[in-house]
Structure 1
Amino acid sequence: MVARPDLTAWRPAVAGVAEVLHAHFTDHVYPMHAHGTWTLLIVDDGMVRYDLDRHEHGALSDLVTLLPPHVPHNGCPVTPRGFRKRVLYLDADVLGEEHIGRAVDGPALDDPLLRRRIHQLHTVLAERGEDLEAESRLSLICERLLGHLGRRVPPPPSRPDRSGLARRLRDLLDERVLEGLTLQEAAGLLHAHPTHLVRAFSREFGIAPHQYLTACRVDRARRLLLEGQPAHAVAAGTGFCDQSHLARNFKRIVGAGPGWYARAVREPASRS
């Protein structure tokens, strides 16, 4: 009897990510096939054996596997317990098709930092409303992948320029607290590489752009809760996608959920 697959797939609202797939297979065997995207794979349990360009490879739990677009590959579990994997399918132009040959020659990347960043991105992508954080994490992942593929992003600006760039990004975030701002939008408006924006802001202010935006939203939410507005109205009025999104971030920053915070509000003591 063939076991039913444990599989979840979705398309996030993040530029460059065509699909996210989380799956656990025990006996499924992939035939030879190809994608029009880059396949960025981490294995959480078990091992996958696959052929790429007539060479046998193994996707191990401590490695990152990068399969290029248009190149056929297959895959099967190595042990009876199968394998559990998480996959990001990245648009072909995210890394550039000129790097296909290099990826064919070395699809397995032994890079613990890269693997940790991919794990963090999967965690963010599973949550609603964290698109700016997802974009920021993806930009750092792509920078590192391009390093493995032999291409470096342009060097960052000098410190004075970096400081100015960070402050211009902060001004943009302050202006767009409610509607939000994608990293690609910010890069276009500020004429800067997305990765440079993330690094310049983090180094200047000691906080990532997405963390700054979330903190601004939570700060506004606190004021509205103090005014007696209900949590669902506060979520809508502070840029969070829903009440759950507000609650998750509010509790992480404040230490209590918005409901608890609202119930703890005290009226000013009357003067005699």
Structure 2
Amino acid sequence: MAQASPDWVRCTQPVDGVERLEAWFGGKAYAMHRHDTYAIGATLAGVQNFRYRRSLRNGLPGNVMVLHPDEPHDGQAGTEQGFGYRMVYVEPALVQQALGGRPLPFLESGISADPRLVAATQALLRQAGHAIDPLEQHGAIAEVARALAAVAGMPMRARKGDFAAACRARDYLRASIDRHVGLADLEAAAGRDRWSLSHDFRMFFGTSPYRYLTMRRLDAARGMLLGGFPLAHAAIATGFADQSHLTRHFLKAYGQTPGRWLRYMREAGMHGLHTNVQYGPGWQA
């Protein structure tokens, strides 16, 4: 019988109230313990057993685990093959702020297969070695908070948006595709706090500020590529860290690498590209 892979753990330093972890265990992983944060995770391979609220739960690939702050739990492999998983630890105050001060959402079972929650956790549950832009992390927390509230059955509170503030934020992002955009900078430009602005932006433009900025950068990069600029040059000029960073986002947005897309465009005789397309809900990945 083949032996399970050796145990290993990789984790990140906490950044703005969020810490990420990725691990593999062949047997017993954790004794009973509890966090003062939300522990939100996904089993990537195998079966993860854990005792939670007086019952044994099974974390399987395709599900999301949501452990409420201060709830005791343990963790171990459910089969001899071991299990691999990723987890993100989020300070409860961030979830409450994203929900406008409402009570913290609670999922009794500790496990959910709800597609809203599965989709909302994708950005935070990436490999621990992949850095997350603070603007992206903020938007991802807001998405997770809303999904938690929906899955927990909390009634949504009607909130009015500030269209003018959202427009100021949009204009600032459009003018900032070639430089880093910080949350404080965006708040100052919009004249609106980050959590309210996140809500306003999605209400009026159908996406998060981070996603909007990424798509505008990709618009500009496509124009540069059609203009004959090298991929590496286009990446730096449009605010990406390097060409692999641009390629990763390009593939996620369009389903093709920049090289393949450019070949198709040239074969079709396209030599220019408008970059002022308005972003809407239909463009979301």
Do the aligned partners of residues 250 and 87 (structure 1) sit closer, same or farther apart at CA in structure 2, a change above 3 Å counting?
closer
Deviation readout 1:14-71 (Å, 9 max, x if unpaired): x4322x2233322134112333432112224443333346x23314326433223444
Post-superposition offset of 1:228: 5.5
2:274 is aligned to none
1:67 is aligned to 67
1:4 is aligned to 6
Distance in 1, matches of 2:247 and 2:74, equals 43
Distance in 2, matches of 1:71 and 1:169, equals 39
Q: 1:244 and 2:244 equivalent? A: yes
Identity percentage over the alignment? 26
Q: Which runs of 5+ in 1 are unaligned?
A: none
Post-superposition offset of 1:12: 7.7
Do the aligned partners of residues 2 and 217 (structure 1) sit closer, same or farther apart at CA in structure 2, a change above 3 Å counting?
closer
Aligned pairs (5 A) from 1:56-205: 56-61=55-60, 63-95=63-95, 103=106, 107-109=110-112, 111-123=114-126, 127=130, 131-146=134-149, 155-157=158-160, 161=162, 163-182=163-182, 186-187=186-187, 189-192=190-193, 194=195, 197-205=197-205
Do the aligned partners of residues 218 and 50 (structure 1) sit closer, same or farther apart at CA in structure 2, a change above 3 Å counting?
closer
SS in 2 for 1:32: strand
Post-superposition offset of 1:172: 1.9
TM-score w.r.t. the length of structure 2 is 0.68
Q: Is the CA contact 1:129–1:240 (under 8 Å) kept in the aligned structure 2?
A: no
Post-superposition offset of 1:131: 4.7
RMSD between superposed Cα atoms in Å: 4.1
Which has more helix, going by share of residues? 1
TM-score w.r.t. the length of structure 1 is 0.71
Do the aligned partners of residues 202 and 36 (structure 1) sit closer, same or farther apart at CA in structure 2, a change above 3 Å counting?
closer
Q: Is the CA contact 2:50–2:56 (under 8 Å) kept in the aligned structure 1?
A: yes
Do the aligned partners of residues 142 and 124 (structure 1) sit closer, same or farther apart at CA in structure 2, a change above 3 Å counting?
farther
Q: Is the CA contact 1:41–1:66 (under 8 Å) kept in the aligned structure 2?
A: yes
May I ask how many residue pairs the two structures share in their alignment?
A: 258
Q: 1:49 and 2:49 equivalent? A: yes
2:214 is aligned to 214
SS in 2 for 1:87: strand
Deviation readout 1:203-254 (Å, 9 max, x if unpaired): 5345543333123223333454566554333322221111211233346559
Distance in 2, matches of 1:193 and 1:153, equals 19
Deviation readout 1:118-166 (Å, 9 max, x if unpaired): 23542497755655344323211112324566866753215xx4x4343
Distance in 1, matches of 2:202 and 2:184, equals 17
